[in-house]
Amino acid sequence: MSQEQPPTPAPDSSLDGSDQFAVRQSKLERLRESGSDPFRSNWDQSHTSSEALSLLPEDLEEGPEVSVAGRIVALRLMGKASFLKIIDREGKIQSYVRKDEIGEDEYADFKKLDLGDFIGVRGPLFRTKTGEITIRAKEYRLVSKALRPLPEKWHGLTDNEQIYRQRYLDLIVNEDSRDRFKARSRIIREIREFFWARDFLEVETPMLQSVSGGAAARPFRTHFNALDCDFSMRIALELHLKRLLVGGFDRVFEVGRVFRNEGLSRRHNPEFTMLEAYQAYTDYRGMMELTQSLIQQVAERALGTLQMERTEGDAIDLSGDWKEAKYKDLIIEAVGQDDWFELPKAAMLEKTKSMGIEVDPELEEFEITNDVFEKVIEHTLIQPTFVTHIPRELCPLAKITQDDESTIDVFELCINGQEIAPAYSEQNDPFVQREAFMKQVGEETQELDDDFLLALEHGMPPAGGMGLGIDRLVIFLTKASNIRDTILFPTLRPS
RNA sequence: GGGUCGGUAGCUCAAUCGGUAGAGCAGUGGCCUUUUAAGCCAUUGGUUCCGGGUUCGAGUCCCGGCCGGCCUACCA
């Protein structure tokens, strides 16, 4: 971890350079003694780095004067002239500083700047011998001092722990990380644009809930002193968004954080970002069209392509209409026998054992089957696939398929070997809903939400609903390998 | 939670069989007016994650702990 020295007391003229924090602090002291405090300076920017770079067309050698500001990330000092690179929110730009143009004293001060300092630079654009567009500085000013050194310039920062705990350092020196988080922001922006354009109302529902339902996961619990009662952090958005369908907001969506008190892994962070959308007078088939259009439009607009390269294997092709497959057909194909769903439990266990899958013998038949799906099938679904006709036991909130009592009107969208988005024809029969809830209430992670059932009894229009894990979407859209690379500040053990 | 690998200078990494802890970058002092990981000369900097143990001697071996990576488990 980082070395936390206490601030060194007084600057020492006999500094030997071993303690970079102390050296920089003493530079700051000297500046203050000479009457300038960089922490109280500012700078008027006329352009960002990339705007400035666009002002010098190929056929010209000299461009207009610009004024930019940013953090120094490269410094090449020479006797009477120097090059430096600064980085701002859009990228890097080089500047050239000459002693004979800014003056002898100014140049002496300039050479005391450190990597990491924020400066402003003003001057005309020109092209160097090697063709790089560069600002010839007429004036510069230190606008904020950096007292700690930057990570190494060539390898950047590679220590995972430091990347997560000091994300700002990662963002300063690792361009791919910067780009990934910018892409995440664009993706979320495009998701909102998509729903706004379809006349959905964006809403916010409670994160603190007395009953956290809508999914089967352990919640984080906390206590509210004013009311002296326990609350949970939400584990899903579903039940409150459906209350809004009851209330007449018949197209709603929310993008928000949910919290699940489960394990950490490459694909799980205890707080993550969920999109849920509900549309009245449609069903899971309507949600299929919506989900496909959503992801295609977001990829096209945020990333400019529907072909997602992967580090290994074929690229993911998001174009066209996506494949559909029935859950039962996938299972039968995977186990290689047509009568799987008629088999007694013992035979199922025997079969899974022969396939090399570990299954808890206490599980019920549908759970064994779902283990087969999760352990054998899911990771093979790389290209976008809507898995439909899922066993009813797996989801209590969806409508039962009319001509097959054993399944529900649901799809699970799998991409990149992961479940990305489930969608249902939402259950709006309060009696069937209560019955389905009661069956699950015995389970440790399930609580009965009577208030939600009361709302259903007032009537909820027929509707399709969809949920999408944004972090997982970002993982495959940005070729990240770990959910932590898509969350700016992932959950870590306190240091 | 279990398994496994790792933690050495500000950063990226070395250190043979257990035998004086090193390099590059960064820093410091010089030289250098078009550099591109600038170059050249000189140079500072270490609680080897923490605590025990074995040993004449431990970065290295043993035990315990802390933090992290990966795998796995839990997770509709």
pLDDT of residue A13: 42
- Name the residue among A469, A374, A486, A473 with its Cα closest to residue A422: A469
- The CA angle A120-A124-A130, to the nearest 5 degrees, is 100
Beta strand segments in A3-148, E? 62-77, 81-88, 91-98, 118-127, 133-136, 139-144
pLDDT of residue A446: 63
**Where are the CATH 3.30.930.10 domain residues in chain A?**
171-322+383-486
CATH placement of domain A17-150? 2.40.50.140
pLDDT of residue A443: 61
**Protein chain A, residues 333-362, with a C-beta closer than 7 Å to any atom of nucleic acid strand B:** 358, 360
In words, the CATH class of domain A171-322+383-486 is: alpha beta
pTM: predicted TM-score of the whole model, two decimal places: 0.93
Q: State the Cα–Cα distance between residues A95 and A68, nearest whole angstrom.
A: 10
pLDDT of residue A9: 36
Q: How many residues belong to chain A?
A: 495
Is A174's CB less than 7 Å from nucleic acid strand B?
A: no
**Where are the CATH 2.40.50.140 domain residues in chain A?**
17-150
pLDDT of residue A429: 95
Mean per-residue pLDDT pooled into runs of 10, chain A (495 residues): 35 66 94 92 97 93 96 96 97 97 95 97 96 97 96 92 94 95 97 98 96 89 94 95 97 96 91 97 97 97 92 87 95 91 89 82 86 89 94 90 92 92 95 88 69 96 96 92 93 87
Pick out the nucleotide with least CA–C1' distance to A126: B34
> Would you say the C-alpha torsion A183, A185, A190, A195 has a positive or negative sign?
positive
Q: Which residue has the tokens 């993982």?
A: A475
Mark the nucleotides of strand B covered by protein, meaning any atom under 7 Å from a CB.
1, 10-13, 24-28, 31-39, 43-46, 66-76
pLDDT of residue A353: 83
C-alpha torsion angle, residues A305, A310, A314, A320 (rounded to 10):
-30
Summarize pLDDT for A416-473 with one digit per residue, the tens.
888 899 999 999 999 999 988 888 766 655 678 999 999 999 999 999 999 999 999 9
Is A364's CB less than 7 Å from nucleic acid strand B?
A: no
Structure tokens at A54: 């666009």
Is A151's CB less than 7 Å from nucleic acid strand B?
A: yes
Is A195's CB less than 7 Å from nucleic acid strand B?
A: no
Summarize pLDDT for A72-119 with one digit per residue, the tens.
999 999 999 999 999 999 999 999 999 999 999 999 999 999 999 999
**Protein chain A, residues 428-467, with a C-beta closer than 7 Å to any atom of nucleic acid strand B:** 440, 445-446
Is A495's CB less than 7 Å from nucleic acid strand B?
A: yes
Residue A395 contacts residue A408 (beta carbons within 8 Å): yes
Residue A397 contacts residue A427 (beta carbons within 8 Å): yes
